[in-house]
Amino acid sequence: EIVMTQSPATLSVSPGERATLSCRASQSVSSNLAWYQQKPGQAPRLLIYGASTRATGIPARFSGSGSGTEFTLTISSLQSEDFAVYYCQQYNNWPSLTFGGGTKVEIK
Amino acid sequence: EVQLVQSGAEVKKPGESLKISCKGSGYSFTSYWIGWVRQMPGKGLEWMGIIYPGDSDTRYSPSFQGQVTISADKSISTAYLQWSSLKASDTAMYYCAKQDLAVAPFDYWGQGTLVTVSS
């Protein structure tokens, strides 16, 4: 099973600053990597798929990059509504759809 | 509008059985895989398994194989997750989610069903 490792576990960022989140796969997942945002008490929401394609309605301040085993989610200028937990997920090894452990983005 | 509406919160005792549901609407229910995801209190997301409602083809995560049963009734556009004998460690939020394609992420999610198992 592919193991997804996210870092850091917690990221403290001031509003308006850039946030950079990392996700590493234990073996290549090509570009079959998604990012989700989860706010307290809510279901996860798809942000990015195909490593770099924003899902419908996702603001341009969210961007994804990477391929193979190393991936990055960047939030260019954090807004108050962006403080949440972010998960990466590989779907290259379908039907196995493993998630990373998550990165909590908190207000500094 | 695509919607996945899950059944309400459940409180059960250890050893009891349970079946929770996820009703899809706004799309062709039989044409897209539906998955189940567990989130234990304060923890991350864990993929449990997926089902193709068109023919009930079901795949399980090795971690959940034999622990739960996933099924679907395409006549009422509903997927199910069931347990035959609950344990306290099954206490969690459970989400259903739809895949856009077979090799794809989950593009729509249900609101979640909280299952609490306590004596």
* pLDDT digits 0-9 by tens, A44-70: 999 999 999 999 999 999 999 999 999
Query: For position B100, what pLDDT does the model report?
Result: 84
Nearest to A102 among B35, B44, B61 (CB): B44
- Contact status of A87 with chain B (Cβ, < 8 Å): yes
Residue A52 three-state SS: coil
Q: What is the mean pLDDT of chain B?
A: 96
Query: For position B102, what pLDDT does the model report?
Result: 73
Distance from the Cα of B90 to chain A's closest Cα (Å) equals 18
Contact B50 A97 (CB under 8 A): yes
- Which residues, 6+ apart, have CB-to-CB distance to A59 below 8 Å? none
Query: What is the C-alpha R_g of chain B?
Result: 13
Distance from the Cα of A58 to chain B's closest Cα (Å) equals 12
Q: What mean pLDDT comes out for the span B40-63?
A: 96
Distance CA B106, CA B100 (A): 7
Long-range CB contact pairs, A57-65, < 8 A, 24+: A62/A35, A64/A33, A64/A35
The answer to whether B4 and B107 are in contact (CB under 8 A) is: no
